[in-house]
């Protein structure tokens, strides 16, 4: 993103967002869309509550424990043939990587200066500890993403439901 661009979340339109907080995606999985990256991860219940409580990356030790627990949940969702749960667990692993990486790149995890028309802040001011946490989550995320059963489920889901 060019340094003079504003963050995309400033133009966010909740009404056109395909994920809704009032849907139980376990009871109505057909309403779930895969989307790009981490979309829907902080909205889709009951998965948000089930997985989100374990999502932490403050230190490499905490990130290790968190990513292992979420990866374990990912495999349980796969075993239960619950694609939505598996996809949400994969998204939490990806988000562990991207959020820890943001804190590794920017002090306090802030990319933009809200007080100065959302000017991009200086990169390289973050924490080495968060870089290690990001690496831990990245490995777990890539492991989930590469799982052949998950890959097949995702391909089928996108073909049938989007």
One-character DSSP codes across 36-47? STTTTTTT-BTH
- pLDDT given at position 80: 98
Chain CA centroid to CA 54, Å: 13
More confident residue, 108 or 161: 161
Residue 103 and residue 127 in contact, taking contact as beta carbons nearer than 8 Å: yes
User: What would the pLDDT profile of 93-143 be if each residue is shown by its tens digit?
Assistant: 999 999 999 888 877 777 776 776 777 767 666 678 899 999 999 999 999
Over range 12-22, report the average pLDDT.
80
**What pLDDT, on the 0 to 100 scale, is given for residue 124?**
66
- Strand duo 119-120 + 112-113: pairing: antiparallel
Report the half-sphere exposure of 154 (CA within 13 A, side-chain side).
Answer: 18
CA distances from 77 to 52, 67, 72, 144 (A): 15, 15, 9, 12
Domain coordinates in residue numbering, the chain: 21-160
Mean pLDDT to the nearest integer, 13-22:
82
């Amino acid at each position: 993103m060019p340094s003079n661009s504003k963050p995309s979340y400033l133009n966010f339109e909740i009404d056109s967002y395909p994920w809704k907080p009032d849907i139980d995606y376990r009871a109505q999985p057909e309403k779930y869309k895969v989307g790009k990256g981490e979309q829907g991860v902080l909205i889709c219940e009951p998965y948000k509550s089930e997985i989100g409580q374990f999502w932490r990356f403050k230190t490499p030790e905490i990130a290790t424990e968190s990513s292992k627990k979420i990866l374990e949940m990912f495999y349980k969702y796969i075993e239960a043939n619950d694609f939505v749960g598996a996809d949400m667990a994969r998204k939490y692993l990806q988000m562990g990587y991207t959020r820890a990486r943001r804190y590794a790149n920017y002090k306090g995890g802030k990319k933009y200066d809200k007080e100065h028309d959302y000017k991009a802040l200086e990169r390289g001011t973050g924490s080495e500890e968060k870089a290690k946490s990001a690496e831990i989550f990245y490995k777990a995320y890539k492991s989930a993403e590469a799982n052949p059963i998950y890959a097949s489920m995702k391909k089928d889901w996108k073909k049938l439901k989007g």
